[in-house]
Amino acid sequence: MANKYTELVTDILNHVGGKENIISVKHCVTRLRFQLRDEAKADTDYLTQRDGVVTVVKAGGQYQVVIGNHVPDVYAEFLAVSGLAGAGSLDIDEGDGPKGNLFDRFVDLISGIFQPSLGALAAAGIIKGVVAIMANLFKLNADNSALYVILNAAGDGFFQFLPIVLAYNAANKFKMNPFTAMAVAMALVYPSLPATVAKLSETGLNHVFGIPFELPSSGSYLSSVMPVLLAVWVASHIEKVMKKITPDVVKVFVVPFVTIILAVPVTFLAVGPLANIASDMLSNTFTSVMNFSPLLYGILLGALWQVLVMFGLHWAIVPLAILQYSQNGWSTILLPALLPNFTQTGVLAAIMLKTKEEKVKSIAMPAFISSIFGVTEPAIYGVTLPMKTPFYISCTVAAAIGAGLSFFPDLKNYAMGAMGIFAFPGYVSPEAGMTPMWIVIGFAALAIIASFAIQMMVPVPTLYAKASEVAVTEVPVTAVPELQEIKQEILASPVTGKVVTLADVADEVFASGAMGNGIAVEPSEGLVCAPTNAEVTLVFPTGHAIGLTTENGAELLIHIGMDTVSLDGKGFETFVKVGDKVTAGQKLVQFDIATVQAAGLPITTPIIVTNTADFTDILFTQESQVKTGDYLLTAVK
């Protein structure tokens, strides 16, 4: 017999490619999670716009259709309509792992790992620009200014030790202990390692059981990206095995001990040689192309430079430039790589003008500033790469600019190391004077204008919300309704801890407001209490999520941590059931913060008004810390 969700689930079934395209379907507290045979057969645009579907998320190794608090009922009806195995059972999973073609998987992985640190990354990039201004305009350096030394450390330190930051973020992505992951990363950037390996190489002792012990062509793993991600991925698998076979009484130190002692040598002895082989092959390829055709070399290096930087493979070409510089006092090898940062500048400017997403604007602005100074990581990882199309535009324009520069063989760099606008003076020639620098500046302006113009002509993809949520719609003028009594729902904080804005929650569905407006708290105590008098409408079996409907009609979702469903109830204890009437301050859930953190999961707890559309406005506390029972938010109706 059909129910109110039959039409919805039938539509979802048809638009995910039909029953034959579904390997499995699961659900968590808000989402239907599909594993599809071919994701391309799913009509994402249709599902995103359909009534009854909040949004669609491609992540977690799954095609996720976000439904809302009533997802268990939708899930049950979906099983009944589709006839898929598992009807009547509850199969839950919230693991995160990228899925799709190789490039999409790489984008999902990199974006997810860089997202938590984008603010600091952009800030460090801007500081590097300030340091460059001090050096170029005021002639300050490490020999004559203590302030220069301090700010240089502040800006460059983040990039130097980026592997440690990425290890922490990757640990959350790969579901392992973040401090174990950081220990692996710290070994990779150990300060005396380059000098020690160099000495071992001189004596021929740089091997372990016959396997060469070598560092990448850059001389160290500082500022690298891919090696540490591979290292943490390997470490996460070792840790999972060790957790299963290690007795609980010694697990706290045996698991990280074995993980570190195995992962670090594997990284040095496997990742290092592979990186060197890839670097040598790339270096030989670009050298051959440059000798064959400078025009083709300009196109190729211009187009691929940003991709090479992402993988850390640009170090295959940098040593060639350094060698040329040491022999001649100038270099031309990196000329096509000079201006891709300005193509990022152009697309970012267009994105800031066109996007309706405030979160994108807040990320794009500091990324725009740092790109002018030649630091493009915030732009690539935070905006253009996740959006894909702007990244393609940037690379395409950079290829054209690289081709154009190849027609000026006399352009030579006499001062390597500067980036962005501060690289321009390095092209002042002893013979030709300022002319080469003006040519370079002209091409930089062309790079900005061309990339800006192209991006302005194509749609800007959305990152954090459905297209329908950010589009500007003309609303017809209607008669002013009669004044009604203003009702409001004042809610106390259900937990004690640090207040976090919803946009800073490490889950795009919550952060975008797709589930409704709200706020989050980083708990310092493992207790959830009722924020007001209400009826319990949802108690998830694992205890990590509670749904309430208040006396004034506000529908609330309290979601303890991110991906905590994967703990399968470990560390959670519930004290209420669906249908219970609770009073303000009544104990709802008790949870163990240490258990959640030991699993490498965020403990941030969103408190969402899921029927936000029923309210005129949601107002929030301005306090940075709250205790259970303190004022948290007001929903005005």
Q: Are residues 300 and 334 in the same domain?
A: yes
Percent over 70 (pLDDT), the chain: 85
Structural domains in the chain (count): 3
Specify whether the CB–CB gap between 403 and 335 falls below 8 A: no
DSSP 57-92: EEETTEEEEE--TTHHHHHHHHHHHH--TTTT----
Q: Are residues 494 and 360 in the same domain?
A: no
- Domain assignment of residue 168, yes or no: no
The mean per-residue pLDDT over the stretch 532-554 comes to: 89
- Domain assignment of residue 598, yes or no: yes
pLDDT at 111: 62
471 pLDDT more than 60: no
Pick the range with the lowest mean pLDDT from 97-101, 175-179, 506-510, 592-596.
97-101
Q: Is 389 exposed, middle or buried (0-12, 13-18, 19+ CB in 10 A)?
A: middle
Relative to beta strand 545-550, strand 587-591 is unpaired
Does the model's pTM come out above 0.85? no
> Alpha carbon of 279 to those of 162, 206, 230, 282, 315: distances in Å?
20, 19, 17, 5, 7
pLDDT at 95: 39
pLDDT at 91: 38
pLDDT at 108: 62
Q: Are residues 410 and 528 in the same domain?
A: no
The mean per-residue pLDDT over the stretch 195-214 comes to: 89
DSSP 3-state of 417: coil
- Domain assignment of residue 186, yes or no: no
Q: What is the pLDDT of residues 87-137, one digit of tens each?
A: 333 333 333 444 455 555 665 666 667 667 766 776 776 787 788 778 877
pLDDT at 101: 55
What average pLDDT does the chain have? 82
Specify whether the CB–CB gap between 343 and 401 falls below 8 A: yes
DSSP 3-state of 178: helix
- Domain assignment of residue 439, yes or no: yes
Listed residues 100, 127, 145: the one ending a domain: 100
Q: Are residues 504 and 432 in the same domain?
A: no
Q: What is the pLDDT of residues 372-428, one digit of tens each?
A: 988 887 888 888 988 889 999 999 999 999 999 989 888 888 766 667 888 888 888
DSSP 3-state of 268: helix
Q: How far is CA 455 from the centre of its chain?
A: 22
Query: φ and ψ at 158, to 5 degrees?
Result: -60, -40
Specify whether the CB–CB gap between 335 and 413 falls below 8 A: yes
**Reduced DSSP (H G I as helix, E B as strand, rest coil) percent helix, strand, coil of the chain, to 5:** 50, 15, 35
The mean per-residue pLDDT over the stretch 560-579 comes to: 88
Residue with tokens 């129910």: 3
The mean per-residue pLDDT over the stretch 224-229 comes to: 80
The mean per-residue pLDDT over the stretch 436-442 comes to: 92
Beta strands across the sheet bearing 55-59 = 22-27, 31-36, 62-66, 55-59
pLDDT grade for 15, boundaries at 50, 70 and 90 = very high
- Domain assignment of residue 341, yes or no: yes
DSSP 3-state of 474: coil
Q: Is 493 exposed, middle or buried (0-12, 13-18, 19+ CB in 10 A)?
A: buried
Q: How far is CA 8 from the centre of its chain?
A: 32
Other CB atoms within 10 Å distance of the CB of residue 436: 21
Q: Where are the alpha helices (DSSP H) in 337-388?
A: 340-354, 358-372, 377-379, 385-387
542: domain CATH number? 2.70.70.10
Q: Side chain identity at 35, as an amino acid letter?
A: Q
CA dist., res. 204 & res. 210, Å (int): 11
Other CB atoms within 10 Å distance of the CB of residue 434: 12
pLDDT at 303: 92
The residues near 4 (Cβ < 8 Å, ≥ 6 apart) are: none
Q: Where are the alpha helices (DSSP H) in 204-339?
A: 226-245, 251-266, 272-292, 294-311, 318-328
The mean per-residue pLDDT over the stretch 51-71 comes to: 76
CA dist., res. 281 & res. 294, Å (int): 19
Residue whose C-alpha is closest to residue 375's, from 162, 89, 588, 536: 162
Q: Are residues 402 and 369 in the same domain?
A: yes
523 pLDDT more than 50: yes
Q: Which residue has the higher pLDDT, 129 or 473?
A: 129
CA dist., res. 20 & res. 18, Å (int): 5
339 pLDDT more than 70: yes
517 pLDDT more than 80: yes
Q: Is 28 part of the annotated catalytic residue set?
A: yes
Q: What is the pLDDT of residues 624-633, one digit of tens each?
A: 899 988 889 8
Q: Which residue has the higher pLDDT, 249 or 454?
A: 454
Specify whether the CB–CB gap between 542 and 575 falls below 8 A: no
> Alpha carbon of 327 to those of 292, 430, 597: distances in Å?
22, 17, 54
Q: Are residues 531 and 454 in the same domain?
A: no
Q: Where are the alpha helices (DSSP H) in 530-627?
A: 593-598
Listed residues 52, 83, 100: the one ending a domain: 100
pLDDT at 476: 46
Q: Are residues 299 and 433 in the same domain?
A: yes
The mean per-residue pLDDT over the stretch 227-246 comes to: 91
- Domain assignment of residue 115, yes or no: no
Q: Are residues 401 and 494 in the same domain?
A: no
- Domain assignment of residue 321, yes or no: yes
Residue with tokens 């790339």: 282
Specify whether the CB–CB gap between 61 and 35 falls below 8 A: yes
Q: Where are the alpha helices (DSSP H) in 189-225?
A: 193-203
474 pLDDT more than 60: no
Query: φ and ψ at 59, to 5 degrees?
Result: -170, 175
The catalytic position among 28, 162, 226, 562 is: 28
Token representation of residue 195: 């000098």
- Domain assignment of residue 229, yes or no: no
Q: Are residues 451 and 520 in the same domain?
A: no
Q: Which residue has the higher pLDDT, 584 or 59?
A: 584
Specify whether the CB–CB gap between 12 and 65 falls below 8 A: yes
Q: Are residues 368 and 426 in the same domain?
A: yes
CA dist., res. 15 & res. 7, Å (int): 12
Q: Are residues 312 and 441 in the same domain?
A: yes
262 pLDDT more than 90: yes
End-to-end alpha carbon distance in the chain = 37
pLDDT at 468: 41
Listed residues 85, 100, 115: the one ending a domain: 100
pLDDT at 587: 92
Specify whether the CB–CB gap between 211 and 217 falls below 8 A: no
CA dist., res. 303 & res. 488, Å (int): 56
Q: Are residues 305 and 444 in the same domain?
A: yes
39: domain CATH number? 3.30.1360.60
Domain around 58: 6-100
